[in-house]
Chain A
Amino acid sequence: MENGFSSPRSESFPAGLRVLVVDDDPTWLKILEKMLKKCAYDVTTCHLAREALNLLRERKDGYDIVISDVNMPDMDGFKLLEHVGLEMDLPVIMMSVDGETSKVMKGVQHGACDYLLKPIRMKELRNIWQHVFRKKIHEIRDIEHENIDIIQMSRNGSDLSDDGHMYCGEDYNSKKRKDFDKNDDKDFGDHSTKKHRVVWSVDLHQKFVKAVNQIGFDKVGPKKILDLMNVQWLTRENVASHLQKYRLYLSRLQKENDLKASFGGIKHSDFPPKDPAASYGHQSSISLNQNDVANGYQFCGSNFIAQDADTKNHEGDLKIVSEMTEIKRTLTADVSDPQKARSSQSFGHSFASLETEASYPAFDSTNPPEFSWSENTETQVKKELKPHLQLEDGYSQLPPHGPQHQIQMNQLQSDPAVTSVLSLTGRDISGSIETKPLFTEFKSKHASHVSPTESAIDTFPVQTKSQLINHQSFEPISTVISSTKPQGFNLSITDLESSQRNLTLASDPNFAPINEDLTVWLQGDYYSMNFGQSIDLIDYDDPGFLAEVPFYFYDPLTADFQCPIDSTTECPIVDQGLFIA
C-alpha cells in the first residue's frame, strides 16, 4: 500500500466521516443520529429514499457512506442501494429489524457492504468507517494495476487486446485526457471535495450505456466507450471501472432471476398491492421480482416497462416519449395484472404532456448484438423495446412546471441541476401521505423544533467538514431535512406513488442481459468485486496526487486502524489519536 494519504484531517479519521442515514422511522432516525454523532461522525438524516438520492446528487462528494433501512415507503431500500452504488459508488449499509436470511442475501446481492439488524448497537456503528476505507484501498489498488498496465503497454508499444483496453496511438490520447483531468481539477485543498470521484450522473451514464449499446455489448471496451462518449474530462479508467460495475450489476440481475426461481420464498401477499396507494417499499421490490419470474424477462428495462405500468410516470421522465407510449400499450397487453392495465391508461397521457429531450437514442432499428447476448431464450422482449434499453433512469430534464405529480416523479430521478427546483414542489414526496397521513403528522411533530420552510431543502447548508462534533450546526441540518415532510399534501397520485415504488433498477432499463463470461465477475471477494474496482476518482498519472487524496485516508503502515474503542465508552476525540497517520 502506498503512502501519501496525508492530509490535515487524516489524523482524526474516522472522525468526521460523512454519513447519510435514511430511514422512514423518525424514532430510529433520531436515535441513529445521536449514536453516529457519538462516534464523531458527520451525520445527515433523511426520511425518504428520494430525498436521500437528491442529497447525494446535489453534493456529489458530500458523503462517505450511506446507511439505509430496507423498507421505506417511497422506494425500496435495495433500489436506493443500487442507485447509490451505480451513481455515486458509495458504500451502503442496509439495516432492518428483519433479519431473515433471504433479505440479507438480497442486500448483499444488491451491493450492500453490510446488513445491520435493528436494534443497532454502538459498536456496529463505530465500525462502519472500515467499509469506506476498504473501498478506497481497493480503488487505489485498481488504479495501481491500471497504472502498471499502462506503463507496460507504453513500453511495449503494442496493442493490448484485453477488452480493447489500449491501443498504441490512443494510449497517448488517453494519457492526455488524464493530464487534462488532473489539471482541471477538483479542489484539493477543500476537504469537502477530496474524493475526486467521478459521479456518474444520469446524463453521463446514459451516454455510457448508449455507447455500450452502440458498440455492442460483447465487443465493448473502455477505450471504445470513452471515444464514443466524447466526454473530455472522463478517463478510460473511469469508464473501465464503471463498465465493470455495470457488468456486475447485470450479472447480479441475472443471478437474482436465477435465485428467484430457486428460492420460492417470495410471498405473494407482498406483490403489487391492489391498492396502489399502499406504500411500503419492500413490496415494490418483491413485485419486481415476481414480475421477473413470472415473465422471465431478462431485460431489466423491459421488465419494468412491461410489468410496471406503475412506473409510467417514471417513464414519463424518460426521453423517449412517443415510442414509449406505443410500446407501453403493446407491453401492457401482455401483463395480466389488472392494476397495471389500469394504470397504463394514464401512461400515455402522462407522456403526452411531458416534454421530451432531444437526445432520443435512435437505436431502435439496430443492435442485434443486444439480443444475441440475451441468455434468456424465453424473453419476450420485442424490438420495440430497444429504445427502452437506452433509457436512463428516468433522469429527466423536465421543466419544473408541469403537473405536480409529474414533478414528483421527476424528483425521483432528476438531474441534480433541477433538483433544487423540484425539491420545492417535490416535497409532496410520497403518496404515502394519502394512506398514512398519520406518519407525516408524526414526523412533523418530531421536527417541531425546526420550522419546515419551503426553502428548507434548497438552503440546505453545505455540510462542512468542520470536524468532529459540530453537533450544533448539524442539528438544524438534519432536522431540516427530516422536517420537510409534506404537510398533508393531498396528492392525487396514488398510482404514481406506487409506480415510484416499483422503480427498480429498471431505472436503468437499458441494462441488458449479460454475457456468459461476465459470470466471472461474480466470483471472488464480494467487496472487491463490487467496490474495489472503481477507479474513477483518481488521476493516477501523478503519484503526487495521492497526497491529495481524501483526507481521511492515511498510511496504514504507520497508523493503527483497528477500531479499538470499547463499545461501552464514549467515542471520544481522544481515541482518534490512534489513527494518526
Chain B
Amino acid sequence: MVGTDLRQQLNNYIQSMRDQGILDNQFQSVQALKTEENPHFVLETVTGFCNDADNGIAQMTRYLEGPVVDFTNLTGLSHFLRGSSSSIGGIRMALACRDLRRASEANNKQGCIEGMARLKHEYNSLKEGLNNISQIERQMIGNAQRGRQ
C-alpha cells in the first residue's frame, strides 16, 4: 500500500540521517507531536527552521565579512541557531554552531571563518535531508487527504 511504503521510506530515510549523525532523537520527538488535527506540524516546523537558518546564516556571513567583524552579534546569532537546530534534532549543525560561538566569543576571526564554513556545510546536509523528509511528508499528507475524499 502506498501509505505504508511512504511511511517506511520516510522512516528509512530518517534512520539513515541518524546513522550519519545529522539528526538525533529529537526529530522523532517532533514527529510525535504531529496530530490528526495538525498533520502539517512537522512540515511547518521544518520550514520555519529552514527559513530562520537561511536568514541567520546569511546574517552571520555579513557579520563575519564586514570591514570589522561583528563578534558580538555573531556570538548571539550562533547561539540562537544552536538552539534552533537542536529543536529539530540537527545535532551536527548544533555542534557546529556551538563551536562557531566559541570562536566568536574569543574574537577569533580565523576560527570563525572556519567555523562558519563548517556550519554551512552541516546546514546544507541537514537542509537537504529535511527537504527530502518534507517531500515525503507532503506526499503522505496528500495521500491521506485524498484517501479521505
**Pick from B51, B70, B71, B80: contact of A71, CB under 8 Å:** B80
**A residues 413-440 with Cβ under 8 Å of B?**
435-436, 438-439
- Whether B129 is near chain A, meaning CB under 8 Å from some CB there, is no
When chains A and B are docked, how far (Å) is the Cα of A96 from the Cα of B87? 11
Pick the interface stretch among A239-247, A277-285, A555-563.
A277-285
**Nearest-Cβ distance from residue A258 to partner chain B, whole angstroms:** 24
B106 touches A269 (CB 8 A): yes
Main secondary structure of the interface of B (DSSP, over half): helix
B72 touches A27 (CB 8 A): no
- Whether A361 is near chain B, meaning CB under 8 Å from some CB there, is no
Pick the interface stretch among A8-16, A31-39, A55-63, A519-527.
A31-39
Residue count of chain B within 8 Å CB distance of chain A: 38
Contacts of B51 in A (CB 8 A): 441-442, 445
B79 touches A97 (CB 8 A): yes
Pick the interface stretch among B5-13, B41-49, B114-122.
B41-49
B48 touches A119 (CB 8 A): no
- Would A280 and B76 be within 8 Å (CB), given that A34-B33, A436-B59, A438-B58 are in contact? yes
When chains A and B are docked, how far (Å) is the Cα of A541 from the Cα of B104? 58
When chains A and B are docked, how far (Å) is the Cα of A445 from the Cα of B50? 12
B73 touches A275 (CB 8 A): yes
A30 touches B48 (CB 8 A): yes
- Whether A25 is near chain B, meaning CB under 8 Å from some CB there, is yes
Residue of A nearest to B80 (CB): A25
Q: Mark A116-144, 1 if CB is under 8 A from B, else 0.
A: 00110110000000000000000000000
Contacts of B48 in A (CB 8 A): 26-27, 30, 442, 445-446
**Nearest-Cβ distance from residue B54 to partner chain A, whole angstroms:** 9
Best-buried of B49, B79, B83 by chain A (most CB within 10 Å): B83
Residue of A nearest to B107 (CB): A269
- Would A27 and B75 be within 8 Å (CB), given that A34-B33, A436-B59 are in contact? no
**Pick from A31, A121, A278: contact of B76, CB under 8 Å:** A278
**Nearest-Cβ distance from residue A475 to partner chain B, whole angstroms:** 9
- Whether B105 is near chain A, meaning CB under 8 Å from some CB there, is yes
Contacts of A435 in B (CB 8 A): 73
- Whether A471 is near chain B, meaning CB under 8 Å from some CB there, is yes
Contacts of B30 in A (CB 8 A): 31
**Nearest-Cβ distance from residue A441 to partner chain B, whole angstroms:** 7
Contacts of B75 in A (CB 8 A): 269-270, 280, 283
- Whether A98 is near chain B, meaning CB under 8 Å from some CB there, is yes
B26 touches A35 (CB 8 A): no
- Whether A401 is near chain B, meaning CB under 8 Å from some CB there, is no
- Whether B133 is near chain A, meaning CB under 8 Å from some CB there, is no
- Whether A273 is near chain B, meaning CB under 8 Å from some CB there, is yes
When chains A and B are docked, how far (Å) is the Cα of A34 from the Cα of B89? 16
**Nearest-Cβ distance from residue B47 to partner chain A, whole angstroms:** 9
B52 touches A439 (CB 8 A): yes
**Pick from B29, B32, B84, B106: contact of A28, CB under 8 Å:** B84
**A residues 346-360 with Cβ under 8 Å of B?**
none
Residue of B nearest to A435 (CB): B73
- Whether A539 is near chain B, meaning CB under 8 Å from some CB there, is no
Contacts of A155 in B (CB 8 A): none
**Nearest-Cβ distance from residue A110 to partner chain B, whole angstroms:** 19
When chains A and B are docked, how far (Å) is the Cα of A441 from the Cα of B82? 19
**Nearest-Cβ distance from residue A267 to partner chain B, whole angstroms:** 6
The size class of the interface chain A forms with chain B is 35 or more
Q: Mark B80-115, 1 if CB is under 8 A from A, else 0.
A: 101110111100001000000000111100000000
A71 touches B79 (CB 8 A): yes
When chains A and B are docked, how far (Å) is the Cα of A275 from the Cα of B74? 12
- Would A25 and B45 be within 8 Å (CB), given that A97-B94, A274-B72, A442-B52 are in contact? no
A97 touches B33 (CB 8 A): no
When chains A and B are docked, how far (Å) is the Cα of A73 from the Cα of B126? 26
A97 touches B83 (CB 8 A): yes
- Whether A495 is near chain B, meaning CB under 8 Å from some CB there, is no
When chains A and B are docked, how far (Å) is the Cα of A35 from the Cα of B76? 26
When chains A and B are docked, how far (Å) is the Cα of A279 from the Cα of B76? 8
When chains A and B are docked, how far (Å) is the Cα of A28 from the Cα of B86? 9
A275 touches B72 (CB 8 A): yes
When chains A and B are docked, how far (Å) is the Cα of A397 from the Cα of B90? 46
When chains A and B are docked, how far (Å) is the Cα of A27 from the Cα of B82? 12
Q: Mark A32-49, 1 if CB is under 8 A from B, else 0.
A: 001100100000000000
B79 touches A269 (CB 8 A): no
Contacts of B94 in A (CB 8 A): 97
B33 touches A278 (CB 8 A): no
When chains A and B are docked, how far (Å) is the Cα of A121 from the Cα of B86? 12
Contacts of A96 in B (CB 8 A): 83
When chains A and B are docked, how far (Å) is the Cα of A519 from the Cα of B30? 45
Contacts of B107 in A (CB 8 A): 269
B73 touches A278 (CB 8 A): yes
Best-buried of B30, B72, B88 by chain A (most CB within 10 Å): B72
- Whether B55 is near chain A, meaning CB under 8 Å from some CB there, is yes
Contacts of B39 in A (CB 8 A): none
Residue of B nearest to A122 (CB): B29
- Whether A69 is near chain B, meaning CB under 8 Å from some CB there, is yes
Contacts A122-B29, A270-B105 known; 18 new A-B pairs at CB < 8 A: A25-B52, A25-B83, A71-B76, A71-B79, A97-B79, A97-B82, A97-B86, A119-B26, A119-B87, A121-B29, A269-B71, A269-B75, A273-B73, A275-B72, A283-B76, A442-B51, A442-B52, A446-B48
- Interface residues of chain B, those whose CB is within 8 Å of chain A, are 26, 29-30, 32-33, 37, 41, 44-45, 48-49, 51-52, 55-56, 58-59, 70-73, 75-77, 79-80, 82-84, 86-89, 94, 104-107
29 of the cross-chain contacts (CB-CB < 8 Å) are: A25-B84, A28-B87, A34-B41, A71-B76, A71-B79, A71-B83, A97-B86, A97-B94, A118-B83, A119-B29, A119-B89, A267-B105, A269-B104, A270-B105, A273-B73, A275-B70, A275-B73, A280-B76, A283-B75, A435-B73, A436-B77, A438-B55, A438-B56, A438-B58, A438-B59, A439-B52, A442-B48, A442-B51, A471-B37
User: Ordered nearest first, which 4 A-B pairs have the shortest CB separation?
Assistant: A280-B76, A438-B55, A273-B72, A34-B33
